[in-house]
Structure 1
Amino acid sequence: MIIEVASELETKELGKKIAVGLKGGEVFQLVGDVGAGKTTFVKGLAAGLGVDDDVQSPSFTISRMYDARDGLQLAHYDFYRLNDPGIMANELEEMMNDPTTITVIEWADIVEGVLPEGHYTLRFSAPTETTRHIEVSDTLEISE
């Protein structure tokens, strides 16, 4: 399914709607060019999970952890600057196997081999300056 959003606010709202049904253990692979809306989506997802912190792209820190609602945590990874996952692959596998963690990975192509079966892939594209197309798996639950 392809969802069209016309603003950053709509991208965040989509993240919030997806967050409603999350219970922990979910893994998201976000695919798209720089500026396509991946981090904006994560900000909405985090807000929907009750994260109080200001969510920032972990492009330079590689990962950020946030406390979320109901004892859950959000693990946000950005592998844009990595050529090889190295020890990050071990940390990532640990987080993906934690049933209380929702894992979101930007630029996950270098760790695609360790992503669990059943992970969700969201593909972001920017046909115009403000419009984004987000292709989501048909199995992903989006609340109204």
Structure 2
Amino acid sequence: MFTRKVTSIDELQSVAEELVSAFSADRVFAFYGKMGAGKTTFIQSICRVLGSEDNVTSPTFALINEYNTDQLESIFHFDFYRIKELEEAYDLGYEDYIYSGSYCLIEWPEMIEPLLPDNIVEVKIEVQDDESRVITAARI
């Protein structure tokens, strides 16, 4: 299991590098954490590690953002916070993205858990009393 404690936002880039390296064969990452835990901020660092210089923002209203890497590969960033029914994910065509072989970074995956494939990387971000974060990751 991957576990890192982050005490400063400046540490996120190196933790993102370690995460991507530790799960180099994986493409679907599900990010769990309370509102404000830092999911989007961590995903910004991951996108930089993957070679994207695009402006990475939460796709809360659009549900999905696409970023390009310096190798012209796509990274798909989902935010399912506002999903009320699984049919919305079907309407979005989530399968086309999830099974594309491209990186898929999913915020609020608990909203579509029945649709998630096997063998994804579950990333949990837990806020500690001292405001540091503990980031854990494991293939599930």
Query: TM-score interval w.r.t. the shorter chain?
Result: 0.7 to 0.9
Structure 2 residue runs of 5 or longer lacking an equivalent are none
Amino acid at match of 2:97: M
Taking every aligned residue pair, what percent have the same amino acid on both sides?
Answer: 26
Return structure 1 stretches of 4+ with deviation > 4 angstroms.
none
> Residue 130 of structure 1: CA displacement?
3.1
1:23-80 per-residue CA deviation (whole Å, 9 max, x = no partner) reads 6x61011001011111111001100111111101111221100111434211000111
Match of 2:33 in 1: 32
- Label 1:122 to 1:111 Cα distance change in 2 as closer, same or farther (>3 A): same
Contact preservation (8 Å) 2:68, 2:75: yes
Q: Equivalent residues in 2 for 1:1-144 (5 A)? A: 1=1, 2-20=3-21, 22=24, 26-89=27-90, 91-99=93-101, 101-128=102-129, 130-137=131-138
- Unaligned runs of at least 5 residues, structure 1: 140-144
How does the TM-score come out when normalised to structure 1?
A: 0.84
Q: Which amino acid aligns with 1:94?
A: D
* Structure 1 residues 19 and 135, CA gap change in structure 2 (3 angstroms): closer
Deviates more, 1:1-10 or 1:49-58: 1-10
Tell me how far apart the structure 1 counterparts of residues 27 and 99 of structure 2 sit (CA, whole Å): 9
Report how many residues are paired. 137
CA RMSD, Structure 1 to Structure 2 (Å): 2.1
